[in-house]
Chains A and B, each alone.
Chain A
Amino acid sequence: MSEYPRLQSLRRINRVMARYYVQRQVLARLRPLAYVTSGAPVEILEALGILTLYPENYGALCGARKASVDLCRVTESAGYPADLCSYARSHIGAVMHPRDAPLRGMPRPDLLVCCNNICGTVLKWYQALASLYDVPLFVIDVPFQHTTPAEDHAVAYVADQLHEFAAWLETHTGRRIKPDKLDAVLARSREAVALWQEILAFGQHRPSPVNAPDLFVAMAPIVALRGTRRAVDCYRRLKAELEGRVARGIGAVPGERYRLLWDNIAIWYRLYRFFRPFMDDGACFVADTYTNAWTVELEPQRPFESMARTYSGVFINVDLPARTRIIAAMARRFEVDGMVMHVNRSCKPFSIAQSDVRDRLRDDLGIPILLLEADMCDERLYNEGAVRERVEAFLEML
């Protein structure tokens, strides 16, 4: 990878995330700790000073460190079918065998918070965790948006639950939520999200100073540290570095010839290696739907209602036509020449309608779109030979 310019800020982000895990080990002895799903309204927890950890982020870490396969085997030996989500299998394996897991696992949670706006699997995963840890679980039910915009009674249902959730947290931690604290956290989230959106927008430059794998590394704070000053800090630096690259005309892929869009979660155990043949051919992934999932707006007034609407409207919680429109708009805005859609075995919401999305986009945009079957964490499902052939054929099409 030495001939491709490396973003310094990413090293910083990696250090921040490493420290994040270590800090939680320490702070968990002093403050309540909650495991949270990536689409949960974390601002409420943040406002109460409750520490958060993200099993999904940990799952991605296991994938990136190539620890997933062994952990999945542990989970499968305990009776979990091998065709379940590989984030869940990796994490549950780490819970069962922490000594063999990255970072020796995560500290025990005091609370579990599960929000199904990203998928239904999280309910089952968190029920398993509730059983393994014997700690209280709160489930936030966010109805799938079969129509756009969301229906009022569905948003009201979510808002009601958020009030219920806040009360539940107060009961379980003995802490009280202060409205101005929540406002401050929401303001920081908005700032971080705004910065993140700006960072993603850099991909519109020619050449793009950023490539999808860079964003996969950079996204950790927006998921796991949203609402904190550290996230804002990280992204201010990254934004500055990208501005610097644009000013000097430096692209993430020197000699950028093709601009591509990536759909679905990253292939964590091939984080940069997967993109090598593309980079060698001058192809840069200037946009993607995964990192774009964290660009929802949070309005300043009526925090609970605004959170309800925001968290209901995340990318994989909206209907197929809405998702297709979002991707098409992204493709146009970033002026892409082609798309690669990762058919991720582990994530049904993200992957289930890709064939239909592809058909419509191909007609609409007239660009080549590759469907690539793999898995985000379980390397046993990755067929190197088949992937290579498809990628080569696709590059020839461009």
Chain B
Amino acid sequence: MYTAGVDVGAITAKAAVFGDEGCLATALILAGYDRAAAARQVLDQALARARLAGQQIACLVATGYGRVQVPGADRTVTEITCHARGAWYLCPDVRTVIDIGGQDSKAIAVGERGKVLDFVMNDKCAAGTGRFLEVMARALEVDLVDFGHLALSAPRRAKISSTCTVFAESEVITHLAAGADRNEIIAGIHEAIAVRIAAMVGRIPVRDTLVLAGGVAHNAGVARILEEKLGHTIAVPAQAQLAGAIGAALIARD
């Protein structure tokens, strides 16, 4: 039996196609403004890679911010449930999922077979999400892809105390004006986001193994400093960003 999962987020759209043997193919594209079109496109890409046709899919589960706009979806399930399941597939020992997306972040306590036991979300505030890093990278005129490594290269971290992205940005500018080392500021930014995320994670029981998912998972700076704050090692699967789509495809098999 073949199933598919589509995860339409605020920034990217992901798809995964599953067969009895497991994951056959995945795809990831930018979502743009037309979520329905993005959903169709990313699913088509995944199907093409799996060498399957749309009609062969027994069940399609849609998840993510734009889940209600996915054409042809048989069910919609929240990204919390899907991320838990997907993370379990990628890392069967997972007990805690930390998903840091472009616009929100979540921590999920995971039980047997990827079942959600508890969760906490931050979707009100940019600090603690990818947006925070985006804003800061722009303020410092640094490429986001380099951000994490630069953070880890600094021996010290500048202090950024504000919880608000807007306030923090003005703190960064003040540091720059005072001649502080740019990498130390970058390290401070990563410390600030890690502290925020750790505080959120602390509201659910934190158990090994911890898995990082979502777009920001590949920022080594965030991952490393988060490990420090939580006192646990954190696994970052290669397919971290696809956890939602994978979980959706698995749920489609239920």
Chains A and B touch (C-beta atoms under 8 A apart)? yes
The reply to whether A77 and B161 contact each other, CB–CB distance below 8 Å, is no
The reply to whether B199 and A380 contact each other, CB–CB distance below 8 Å, is no
Q: Shortest CB–CB separation between residue A76 and chain B, in angstroms?
A: 7
Known contacts being A385-B170, A385-B174, is A379 close to B202, with CB within 8 Å?
no
Determine the chain B residues whose CB is within 8 A of the CB of A383 once the complex forms.
162, 164, 167, 170
B209 close to A (CB within 8 Å): no
A96 close to B (CB within 8 Å): no
Instruction: Give the residue name and chain of the B residue nearest to A380 (CB).
Output: B163
The reply to whether A73 and B199 contact each other, CB–CB distance below 8 Å, is yes
Which of chain A's residues 330-385 have a Cβ closer than 8 Å to chain B?
379-380, 383-385
The reply to whether A380 and B203 contact each other, CB–CB distance below 8 Å, is no
Determine the chain A residues whose CB is within 8 A of the CB of B164 once the complex forms.
383
Known contacts being A383-B170, A385-B174, is A77 close to B202, with CB within 8 Å?
yes
Which range contains the number of A residues in contact with the other chain? Answer: 10 to 19
The reply to whether B167 and A77 contact each other, CB–CB distance below 8 Å, is no
Which of chain A's residues 209-235 have a Cβ closer than 8 Å to chain B?
none
Instruction: Give the residue name and chain of the B residue nearest to A73 (CB).
Output: B199
Q: Shortest CB–CB separation between residue A84 and chain B, in angstroms?
A: 15
Instruction: Give the residue name and chain of the B residue nearest to A385 (CB).
Output: B170
Determine the chain B residues whose CB is within 8 A of the CB of A379 once the complex forms.
161
Known contacts being A383-B167, A383-B170, A385-B174, is A77 close to B162, with CB within 8 Å?
no
**Distance of A380 Cα from B174 Cα, bound (Å):** 16
Q: Shortest CB–CB separation between residue B225 and chain A, in angstroms?
A: 16
The reply to whether B162 and A380 contact each other, CB–CB distance below 8 Å, is yes
Give the residue of A76, A79, A385, A386 whose beta carbon is less than 8 angstroms from that of B199: A76
Instruction: Give the residue name and chain of the A residue nearest to B201 (CB).
Output: A77
The 8 A CB mask of B163-203 against A (1 = contact, 0 = none) is 11001001100100000000000000000000000010011
A137 close to B (CB within 8 Å): no
Which of chain B's residues 135-172 have a Cβ closer than 8 Å to chain A?
161-164, 167, 170-171
Determine the chain B residues whose CB is within 8 A of the CB of A386 once the complex forms.
170
Q: Shortest CB–CB separation between residue A120 and chain B, in angstroms?
A: 25
**Distance of A379 Cα from B159 Cα, bound (Å):** 13
A154 close to B (CB within 8 Å): no
**Distance of A73 Cα from B163 Cα, bound (Å):** 12
A69 close to B (CB within 8 Å): yes
Instruction: Give the residue name and chain of the B residue nearest to A378 (CB).
Output: B163
Determine the chain A residues whose CB is within 8 A of the CB of B163 once the complex forms.
380
Determine the chain A residues whose CB is within 8 A of the CB of B171 once the complex forms.
384-385
Determine the chain B residues whose CB is within 8 A of the CB of A73 once the complex forms.
199
The reply to whether A77 and B203 contact each other, CB–CB distance below 8 Å, is yes
The 8 A CB mask of B87-99 against A (1 = contact, 0 = none) is 0000000000000
**Distance of A186 Cα from B167 Cα, bound (Å):** 48
**Distance of A69 Cα from B202 Cα, bound (Å):** 16
Determine the chain B residues whose CB is within 8 A of the CB of A77 once the complex forms.
199, 202-203
Instruction: Give the residue name and chain of the A residue nearest to B170 (CB).
Output: A385
Which of chain A's residues 65-118 have a Cβ closer than 8 Å to chain B?
69, 73, 76-77, 79
**5 residue pairs bridging A and B, Cβ less than 8 Å apart:** A73-B199, A77-B202, A79-B203, A383-B164, A383-B167
A residues lining the B interface (CB < 8 Å): 69, 73, 76-77, 79, 379-380, 383-386
Interface contacts beyond A69-B161, A383-B164: sample of 16 additional A-B pairs, CB < 8 Å, sorted by A: A73-B199, A76-B199, A77-B203, A79-B203, A380-B161, A380-B162, A380-B163, A383-B162, A383-B167, A383-B170, A384-B171, A384-B174, A385-B167, A385-B170, A385-B174, A386-B170
The 6 closest A-B pairs by CB, nearest first: A385-B170, A380-B163, A77-B202, A383-B167, A73-B199, A380-B162
